[in-house]
Chains A and B, each alone.
Chain A
Amino acid sequence: MQILDMNEGTQIIPLGDEAILVRFAHNIVEEANIKAINFAKDISLLKHVAIKEIAASLVSVLVKYDNRKISFFELSSIIRLTLFQSKNDEEGNSIHHKIELKYDGEDLKQVSQMLSLSVEEFIIRHSEKPLRVLSTGFAPGFIYCGIHAKDLHIPRRNKIRNLVPSGAVIFAAGQSAITSTAMPTGWHVIGHCDFNNFDVSMQPPTKVNLGDYISFQRVKI
């Protein structure tokens, strides 16, 4: 295995022969997420001819490249240099989105019970503070946001729900996510919103960017 280890546990790993994964942590920590978002921005700014696509995930970044134009080792050294110059702090130009949420999900009761809260208490806790957008690339327009307070963390469901609609707000692993397409999920469905973050007639096709903030605003049912 060819893993190049950097300072502070950052890894540069080949992902096939046309991509490199830059991994900042093995689990979801806010600091690594900010590093990933900043690095993705910085490497995009290079506009390198051999880099075909860059996508930030929760704590890692995918860099796809043209292997006829650059080798893994050449690109690794460009990545290493970019990492050294990358900032560790959050950048200031994020947008704050307010999203109206109907807390009517089929798992809302169970989630509250798992946390030993009443439904009412859970709703208050869930919507109490703005959440950062941690990742966007899981499915078209899909948004991961968090991280919720430690005492609100619950695991995924044992059973996968076959299909939740677009606009479902799902909850697990210290995060809330908003779907923009119908999809199967192992997360708990806590509510629904009218917000759709994917529109193919727009360029770019999504409104919410990495590092933005989301506040859920409760709508009475």
Chain B
Amino acid sequence: MKFVITRASPLSTIQDEGRFGYLKYGVSASGPMDKNAYFLGADLLNTNATSAVEFTQAGMDFIYYGEGKRVAFTGGDFSLFINQKEKNWRRVYKLAHDDEIIIKPNSWGNYGYIRFDGELDVKPILGSRATNTIVSLGGFGGNALKVGDEINLLSASIKNKIKSNLSSTQFDNQNNIFHIIWGVHANLFSQQIRDDLISKPFFISSQLNRMGVRLIDKNKIFEGEKILSLVSEPVVCGDIQILGDGVATVLMRDHQPSGGYPRIGTIISSDIDRFAQMRPNSKIFFKSKAVK
């Protein structure tokens, strides 16, 4: 059982839940940009296999070879074609030998997931199949997937699925408000800047990837902000980091483990999936929240 990629959107990768416990050795967890969608795939399949293909906005095409195999498609909104016939998105299908799958972008979202009832046969590195292309670790030789890549599939071993603990309900992609906890350097910014951050809109730029999402600051809230020479400290996914040139970036799953730029806030974990799916030019708002 295998599949061969015939078209891949840039920076599509193999992911699993993530590589945990290696931050102190300098390795970020990686893992799916939209965790909820990733878990939904396993819930639909009722599988214990943990690896998935994460493809980006332009979708992915592949041909399946081998005996009948169940597959789930989840993530943002995409159009699915199996052997040229349009199918419903976010469903499970049984693939047969020589089936041709085409996934095209639809109304919203940057990331989608292909999960099979069986692991993708790539070697786990430090206990995980997740890819971090920045440091060439895990997945398919540490690289993004490309045309011609052949990925073998293992049989599903146990039928008991791992409980995802996440809600498998669809999130509201129209909701553009993201909650933040004030960050570890919030007190280095003026009250005016902090007020603006949670009242004025920002826009998603086209510079987004698994490391971070650059924001467009049309109201120039951070213009001229130059906080330099901070000692390097640990950073986390969701941190809103202000670079020396006043550019705000939200750090995502493949972020470096530590950094020396000021961080004014952190998007809460339950809003990250929705944030990851926001396409370039989307208007967004931040709202502050207290941690309990």
Contact = CB atoms under 8 A, between A and B. Distances in A.
Interface of A: 1-3, 13-19, 21, 23, 25-28, 40, 52-62, 64, 67-68, 71-73, 135-142, 180-181, 198, 200, 204-206, 210
B231 A140 contact: no
Nearest to B22: A205
Contacts of B239: 15-16
B85 interface: no
A126 B226 CA distance: 32
Given A14-B182, A137-B26, 20 more contacts: A1-B182, A15-B184, A16-B237, A18-B236, A40-B24, A55-B24, A58-B231, A60-B233, A72-B292, A73-B292, A136-B24, A137-B24, A138-B26, A138-B232, A141-B25, A200-B126, A204-B25, A205-B22, A206-B26, A210-B24
A21 B231 CA distance: 13
B24 A56 contact: yes
Contacts of B290: 2
> Which of B182, B269, B270, B292: most chain A Cβ within 10 A?
B292
A180 to B, nearest CB: 8
A200 B126 CA distance: 6
A195 to B, nearest CB: 15
B267 A16 contact: yes
Interface string B185-202: 011000000000000000
Contact of A141 (B26, B230, B270): B26
A219 to B, nearest CB: 26
A67 B165 CA distance: 12
B5 interface: no
23 contacts: A1-B186, A14-B181, A15-B181, A15-B236, A17-B268, A17-B269, A19-B236, A21-B184, A23-B184, A26-B231, A53-B21, A58-B231, A62-B234, A72-B292, A135-B232, A136-B26, A137-B234, A141-B25, A181-B135, A181-B136, A198-B26, A200-B137, A204-B25
Chain B interface mostly: loop
Nearest to A13: B184
Contacts of B125: 200
B88 interface: no
Contacts of A26: 230-231
Contacts, number: 131
Contact of A59 (B24, B182, B231): B231
Contacts of B238: 16
Contacts of B25: 136-137, 140-141, 198, 204-206
A181 B239 CA distance: 24
A16 B269 contact: yes
B23 A55 contact: yes
A53 B230 CA distance: 24
A140 B269 contact: no
A208 B292 CA distance: 37
B256 interface: yes
Contacts of B181: 2, 14-17
A52 B20 contact: yes
Contacts of A138: 26, 232, 256-258
A192 B290 CA distance: 47
B291 interface: yes
A140 B26 contact: yes
A3 B26 CA distance: 26
B182 A57 contact: no
Contacts of B27: 140, 205
B277 interface: no
B231 A55 contact: no
B249 interface: no
B86 to A, nearest CB: 39
B137 A140 contact: yes
B266 interface: yes
A141 B258 CA distance: 13
A125 to B, nearest CB: 24
Nearest to B125: A200
Contacts of A64: 23, 236
Contacts of A200: 125-126, 137
A21, A27, A61 — most chain B CB neighbours (10 Å): A21
A140 B135 contact: yes
Nearest to A60: B233
